[in-house]
A and B are shown apart, each in its own frame.
Chain A
């Protein structure tokens, strides 16, 4: 029997037949795994606990002939229950799942597992602003996919300066100097912090709250632009 054990995070669940579900997991070493959980929609199913959203589980599967394996046992390792205890966090959590599912459709690399796992960990911390975690998620996603925005030089290869206003050129992935309104350098500083630090570290530094909505706007639009993410 071609059986294997892996850790996984549920990224998608689709109902199948009377009582089954096809679950898509993200795993650290096997990439995206699809498995059928038989009878899981019945109340007494032993598989149900290990296929909860916003959790990490140990899974045992049997390799199928096609693309779909059969899940034979699940054990919940950790459930990020604060995510579903707060509607803004729940919305962000589903957003992350949908994006990771979309970007891993054609290619997969191990970094996606740690991205979603860490994003859930941060989202689960009630004292951390969910919007900061959302910005961090987009920053890491752009980094993994090779679309890191340039935050030192503007579109003319001039260094970004303090006390200036900038617009963001999405096709160039860089800021451009604005003569009138635009994003302040505080937004650029926050975007730089996001490239090097975790939401928890940035939260400890503080002083980023005002720049957060603008950074979120740029980063989510960048992800939409480059990764064709439709919302």
Chain B
């Protein structure tokens, strides 16, 4: 069992992911914005973060760079779970690994079972 923080602006989707991960015996928290997520990380201290990059106001990339400025959060794994196409991902030319990203999942191709498996 691990502590997982879902950063997902779509509340309905977040509820779906949360129930799947709770069923896999994880403790799960949820934030809808990058700003809210920074406070949640401080309080909830997750082992893993599941992050949607495409968010209003501060986007997921801003969250990742902000997150990486907290030295005591090094070691928290980040799984990107997004509706952004892989081609757009490549065009962003970001060094994801340096930002703590361990996996990229494209939402339309990822089943709940696959999400559960990736987190486990």
Distance in angstroms between the alpha carbons of A88 and B93 in the assembled complex: 8
* A167-211 interface bits toward B, Cβ cutoff 8 Å, 1 = contact, 0 = none: 000000000000000000000000000000000000000000000
Q: Which residue of A lies closest to B98 (CB)?
A: A231
Contact B93 A15 (CB under 8 A): no
A53 partner residues in chain B, CB cutoff 8 A: 62, 65
Q: How far is B95's CA from A231's CA once the two chains are assembled, in angstroms?
A: 6
B94 nearest CB across to chain A (Å): 5
Most buried by A among B59, B84, B94: B94
Chain B interface size band reads 10 to 19
A88 near B92: Cβ-Cβ < 8 Å: yes
Contacts of A90 in B (CB 8 A): 59, 61-62, 92
Query: A14, A91, A92, A134: which contacts B69 (Cβ < 8 A)?
Result: A14
| Inter-subunit contact A88/B88 (CB<8 Å) | yes
Please determine whether B70 and A94 come into contact, CB atoms closer than 8 angstroms. Answer: no
Query: What range describes how many residues of A lie at the interface?
Result: 10 to 19
| Interface presence of A87 (CB below 8 A) | yes
With A and B bound together, what is the CA distance between A48 and B3 in angstroms?
31
Is A87 a contact partner of B69 (Cβ separation < 8 A)?
no
Give A225 to B55 CA distance when docked, in angstroms: 35
Task: Give 16 CB contacts A-B under 8 Å.
Answer: A14-B69, A15-B71, A53-B62, A53-B65, A87-B59, A87-B61, A87-B84, A87-B88, A87-B92, A88-B91, A90-B59, A90-B61, A91-B61, A91-B92, A92-B93, A134-B93
Nearest 3 A/B pairs, CB to CB: A91-B92, A91-B94, A90-B61
Besides A87-B84, A88-B92, 4 other A-B contacts (C-beta < 8 A): A14-B71, A87-B88, A91-B61, A91-B91
Residues of chain B whose beta carbon lies under 8 Å from any beta carbon of chain A: 53-54, 58-59, 61-62, 65, 69-71, 84, 88, 91-95
Chain A residues proximal to chain B, CB less than 8 Å: 13-15, 53, 84, 87-88, 90-92, 94-95, 131, 134, 231
